[in-house]
Structures are given as C-alpha cells and as structure tokens.
C-alpha cells in the first residue's frame, strides 16, 4: 500500500512556490489555476501537451482486439479507442531509478568496494 502522508498537495505546492519565489500565495494560486486551465484545454482540444524536462501527454490509438468479459464469461470484440498516455521525462525517470537503486544498495549493504561480493559468480554456481 502506498503511503500518502508525504504527498504534495495543492496547498503545499502553492506554499512552496510562494516561499521559493517570494511571491504572494494568491498570485501563485492564480498562476497555477491558469496553468491548469491551459493544460486541460490543450489536452482536450489537441490531445497532447508537453512540459520540457518534466512530462508529456499524448493520444494513443489502441487497436481493435478481443477481450474476455468476466461478468458474462464471453469473449467480445473491443473497438479501436483513443486513450491518453503520460510519460515522465528521461531525466526524472533516471533520477527516480537512481534513488531506488541507492536505497536498495543501502538496504543490502552494497558499496562501491564490495559490489562484486553481492552477486554470485559462475564459480559459485558451478560449485553448487
């Protein structure tokens, strides 16, 4: 289960931006509302939106396919549909994976000096 106690709420976001930029929180709130309106308009009208070094939203067409309906127990043909997909930028993805990798290494006691000991070698596998 995901712990939502530390998640960034709209109120926290407005407060943090206000603190970092030394702008009034009402000004930040109006800018955030304008950004949200523009984001929604672009996605609904054009089916895409991108924010450099952050994320992109695109429309993808799913092909017609067969699917199993659990409630009726029958196979049905599902029509071609368009859905929105969201992708994080490579930089954000890389930083997140780097964080997870370092947390896992700390938990398992893996360092730059002993990383070879953490993985079995071919000799270990042959001897077993």
The closest of 124, 99, 9 to 17, measured between CA atoms, is 9
Per-residue b/e over 80-91, b at no fewer than 16 CB within 10 Å?
Answer: eeeeeeeeeeee
- Residue with the two structure tokens 């071609």: 80
The pLDDT tens digits for 21-77 are 999 999 999 999 999 999 999 999 999 999 999 999 999 999 999 999 999 999 999
Helix (H, G, I), strand (E, B) or coil at 1: coil
Helix (H, G, I), strand (E, B) or coil at 81: strand
Q: Is a pLDDT exceeding 90 seen at residue 124?
A: no
């Amino acid at each position: 289960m995901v712990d939502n106690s530390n998640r960034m709420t709209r109120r926290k976001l407005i407060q943090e931006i206000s603190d970092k930029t030394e702008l009034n929180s009402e000004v930040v709130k109006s800018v955030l509302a304008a950004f949200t309106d523009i984001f929604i308009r672009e996605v609904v009208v054009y089916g895409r939106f991108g924010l450099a070094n952050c994320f992109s939203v695109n429309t993808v067409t799913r092909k017609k396919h067969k699917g199993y309906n659990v409630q009726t127990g029958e196979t049905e043909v599902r029509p071609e549909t368009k859905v929105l997909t969201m992708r994080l930028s490579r930089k954000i993805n890389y930083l997140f994976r780097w964080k997870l990798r370092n947390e896992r290494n700390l938990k398992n006691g893996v360092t730059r000096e002993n990383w070879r000991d953490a993985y079995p070698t071919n000799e270990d596998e042959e001897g077993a």
